[in-house]
Amino acid sequence: MPARPSVLAITSELPWPLDRGGHLRSFHLLRGLAADFDVRLVAPMEPGQEALVPALTAAGLRVCAVPVGRRRAPAETLRVVRAALSREPYVLFRRHDRVSVRQMVSTQLAINRADLLYLDHLDSALYADRSHVPAILDLHNVYSALVRRTAAEQTNPVVGQYLRGEAALLERAEQRAATRAALVTATSDEDCAYYQACGARRVVLVPNGVDCDAYSSLPLVRTSRSPLILYVGTMSWGPNAAAAKYLALDVLPRIQQRIPDARLRIIGREPPPDIRALAGRPDVEVTGAVPDVVPHLREAHALAVPLESGGGTRLKILEAFAAGLPVVSTPVGCEGLRAEHGVHLLVAPREHISQALVTVLTNRLLAYALAERARDLVREHYDWRSIGAVARREAHGVLHRRAARACQMQDAG
C-alpha cells in the first residue's frame, strides 16, 4: 500500500480549544486534511498548554509543539520596535519567538518528507519563505482591510496615521505571501477577489463552516416568555467590544420600549472592564468565556450582529443558523455569506437594528421561517464535512499539478 502524501502544517497557536473562530477553522480544515494526508502540525505551545495536545492528536494530527514562554509586556514592546525597524507589519511579530518556530519547521523538513506545506494565517507564511515545498496558504480574512477600516474609525489622528501605515505594510505582506503560495484559500468571494488581484496563482473559496450535527437536536425558535438576545464574540477584539456596548447601551433600551422584559446576554472571552461593567444592569448579562455555547443558543430568541467592521465570514452567524436561532445583522456583520435578507436573516443598518430585532422577537411566524431556511442553508453549504472535502480535493490538486509540471519538464529535457 503506497504511503499517504504528507503535509507539514504551521499555525501561530495550538488550534484548541474550539472557543474562537480562528481555532474552529484551523482545527476543522486540518482534521479534514488528515483524512487523506499524514499531517504534522508545528505550533507554539505556552506553559500549561500541554493538555491541549491530546485533542489534536485524536483528530489525526501529529503535533510538533514548540515550547515558548508566555507573552509579556516587555517582549511585546520589543516586537513593536522590531516591526518598526524592519518595516514589517506588527501583526507578523506579535506572536511568539519566530526563531524557535522556524527552527522546528527546518528540522521537520529535514527529517520528514513533506509533500505540502499548509500555512494557517498570514504570519505562518514567514516560515515557508526558504522552502521549495509547494504551499497552501489559508487566509482567514484580509487583514489589511480590517486595519484600514479601524483606521478610518479612529478619532485620534496619531493612532489613525499609525494604523494606515500598518495597513499598507500588511497589504504588501499579503501580496508577497499570496504570490509565493501554490494555492491560496479564502473564506469569502470578496476575499478571493482581493487575493486574485494580489497576483496569486490560484485562489479557491473555502468558506467557514459549522458542525451541523452538534446543533441538530435544538428546536426551531424558542418559546420561553422573557425574550433573550445573544451577542457572541471575542471581547478583546475591538469591533466585537464596540458592538456589545452598542447593543447594551443603545439598542436594548429602544427594544424595551416595545418589549419591556427583553434581555441581553454577552458571551465571549477576555471582556475588558467597560464590557464587564455592563453586567451591573439588571437586564444585561456578561458571561465571559463559556465551555459550550450550545446551551445559550438553545435558550436565546435571537442573535444580534451589529458589527461595523470585520472580515471573513461570521462563524457566530453560522452557529446560530445551525441552531435554528433567528439572526439580525448589519450588512458588514454578514459579509461573505450566501444568506439573503428576508430569506435567512434580517439585515439592517446599525441605526435600525433595534427595529429589526423587535420584528423577529414579536413575529413568531417570521422568526420560524427565517430559522428554518437558515438551517437548510448551512446544511447544504456550510457543514465542515463538505468543506473539509473541498480542502482535501484542492490539496490533491496542488500535488497533481506539480507532478504534471515535472513530467512536462522531463519530456522537454
In a domain, 284, yes or no: yes
Q: Which residue has the higher pLDDT, 293 or 1?
A: 293
pLDDT value of position 302: 97
Give Cα 346 to chain centroid, integer Å.
22
- 224 and 205 within one domain: no
- 99 and 76 within one domain: yes
- 202 and 249 within one domain: no
Give Cα 264 to chain centroid, integer Å.
24
Distance CA 294, CA 214 (A): 8
pLDDT value of position 74: 44
Task: Give yes or no for residue 359 having a pLDDT over 90.
Answer: yes
How large is the average pLDDT for residues 351-358? 98
pLDDT value of position 29: 98
What average pLDDT does the chain have? 89
Distance CA 157, CA 39 (A): 46
- Give per-residue burial for 65-81: e unless 16+ CB within 10 Å, then b: bbebeeeeeeeeeebee
How large is the average pLDDT for residues 265-294? 94
DSSP letter string over 346-361? EE--GGGHHHHHHHHH
In a domain, 252, yes or no: yes
How large is the average pLDDT for residues 338-349? 97
How large is the average pLDDT for residues 206-214? 92
Instruction: Give the number of other CB atoms < 10 A from CB of residue 158.
Output: 8
How large is the average pLDDT for residues 109-119? 94
Distance CA 260, CA 262 (A): 6
DSSP letter string over 180-231? H-SEEEESSHHHHHHHHHTT-S-EEE----B-GGGGTTSPSS---SS-EEEE
Bridge partners (DSSP) listed for residue 65: 43
In a domain, 150, yes or no: yes
- Of 77-86, 321-330, 340-349, the range with the lowest mean pLDDT is 77-86
Distance CA 143, CA 246 (A): 24
- 256 and 168 within one domain: no
How large is the average pLDDT for residues 240-247? 94
| Length of the chain, in residues | 413
- Looking at this protein, which amino acid is placed at residue 237? W
In a domain, 269, yes or no: yes
The residue assigned the cell 427594544 is 255
- 153 and 292 within one domain: no
- Of 108-112, 216-220, 401-405, the range with the lowest mean pLDDT is 216-220
DSSP, res 132: -
Task: Give yes or no for residue 303 having a pLDDT over 60.
Answer: yes
How large is the average pLDDT for residues 225-236? 91
* Domain tally, the chain: 2
- 173 and 47 within one domain: yes
Task: Give yes or no for residue 83 having a pLDDT over 60.
Answer: no
How large is the average pLDDT for residues 53-76? 83
- 194 and 56 within one domain: yes
The answer to whether the beta carbons of residues 301 and 361 sit under 8 Å apart is yes
Task: Give yes or no for residue 375 having a pLDDT over 90.
Answer: yes
- Of 178-182, 213-217, 399-403, the range with the lowest mean pLDDT is 213-217
The answer to whether the beta carbons of residues 209 and 335 sit under 8 Å apart is no
Per-residue confidence band for 77, with pLDDT thresholds at 50, 70 and 90:
very low
Instruction: Give the number of other CB atoms < 10 A from CB of residue 289.
Output: 14
- Of 41-55, 361-375, 395-409, the range with the lowest mean pLDDT is 395-409
- 160 and 247 within one domain: no
Domain that holds residue 346: 212-381
Helix, strand, or coil (residue 297)? helix
The residue assigned the cell 514548540 is 66
- Of 28-37, 137-146, 216-225, the range with the lowest mean pLDDT is 216-225
Task: Give yes or no for residue 84 having a pLDDT over 70.
Answer: no
Task: Give yes or no for residue 223 having a pLDDT over 70.
Answer: no
- Tens digits of per-residue pLDDT, 154-192? 889 999 999 999 999 999 999 999 999 999 999 989 999
pTM, two decimal places: 0.87
- Looking at this protein, which amino acid is placed at residue 50? E
In a domain, 88, yes or no: yes
In a domain, 1, yes or no: no
pLDDT value of position 311: 54
Distance CA 167, CA 143 (A): 8
Distance CA 342, CA 330 (A): 13
- 99 and 225 within one domain: no
- 95 and 66 within one domain: yes
- 166 and 23 within one domain: yes
Query: Secondary structure of the chain: what % helix, strand, coil (to 5)?
Result: 50, 15, 30
Residue 285's domain is classified under what CATH number? 3.40.50.2000
How large is the average pLDDT for residues 326-349? 95
Distances (CA, A) of 277 to 183, 281, 282: 45, 8, 12
- 96 and 142 within one domain: yes
How large is the average pLDDT for residues 308-316? 70
Strands of 203-205's sheet in order across: 61-67, 38-45, 6-10, 116-120, 135-139, 183-186, 203-205
Distance CA 257, CA 255 (A): 5
